[in-house]
């Protein structure tokens, strides 16, 4: 299983762009990179998933360099409601497991 490393916490202000980087040095060829968001006392919620280059949806962008050893989740113009824990996961194709890393606690201030 590819291990992921993320910053423990980040602070931001409303309206700013937030970039959270995840390291996954031993990512396997067939692995995908997935990000989840979790609010207190709720289940994680899927944000975005990608394999290489750039993926964008209505809430975020995911940037993956050519070597795929890291990825960056970009949240445009965050609001107070984006305060949450963000998890980076790398898919295990040898038998699917969703293994969560420590996550990044994002605090958005007014």
Partner 1 sequence: DTEVTQTPKHLVMGMTNKKSLKCEQHMGHRAMYWYKQKAKKPPELMFVYSYEKLSINESVPSRFSPECPNSSLLNLHLHALQPEDSALYLCASSQDHGAGNTEAFFGQGTRLTVV
| List of residues contacting partner 1 (CB under 8 A) | 30-32, 34, 41-46, 49, 51, 87, 91-93, 95-103
Identify which of residues 41 and 81 has a Cβ nearer to partner 1 in the complex.
Answer: 41
| Least Cβ distance, residue 50 to partner 1 (angstroms) | 9
Identify which of residues 19 and 93 has a Cβ nearer to partner 1 in the complex.
Answer: 93
Residue 48's Cβ-count burial label (10 Å; 0-12, 13-18, 19+) is buried
Using the CB atoms, write b or e for 82-102: b if 16+ within 10 Å: bbbbbbbbbbbeeeeeeeebe
Identify which of residues 29 and 81 has a Cβ nearer to partner 1 in the complex.
Answer: 29
């Amino acid at each position: 299983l590819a291990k992921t490393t993320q910053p423990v916490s980040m602070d931001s202000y409303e309206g700013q762009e937030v970039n959270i980087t995840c390291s996954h040095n031993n990512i396997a060829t067939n692995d995908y990179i997935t990000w989840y968001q979790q609010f207190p006392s709720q289940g994680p919620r899927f944000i975005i998933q990608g394999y290489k280059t750039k993926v964008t949806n209505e809430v975020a962008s995911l940037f993956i360099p050519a070597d795929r050893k890291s990825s960056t989740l970009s949240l445009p113009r965050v609001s107070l409601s984006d305060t949450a824990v963000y998890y980076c996961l790398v898919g295990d194709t040898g038998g699917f497991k969703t293994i969560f890393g420590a996550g990044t606690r994002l605090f958005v201030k007014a």
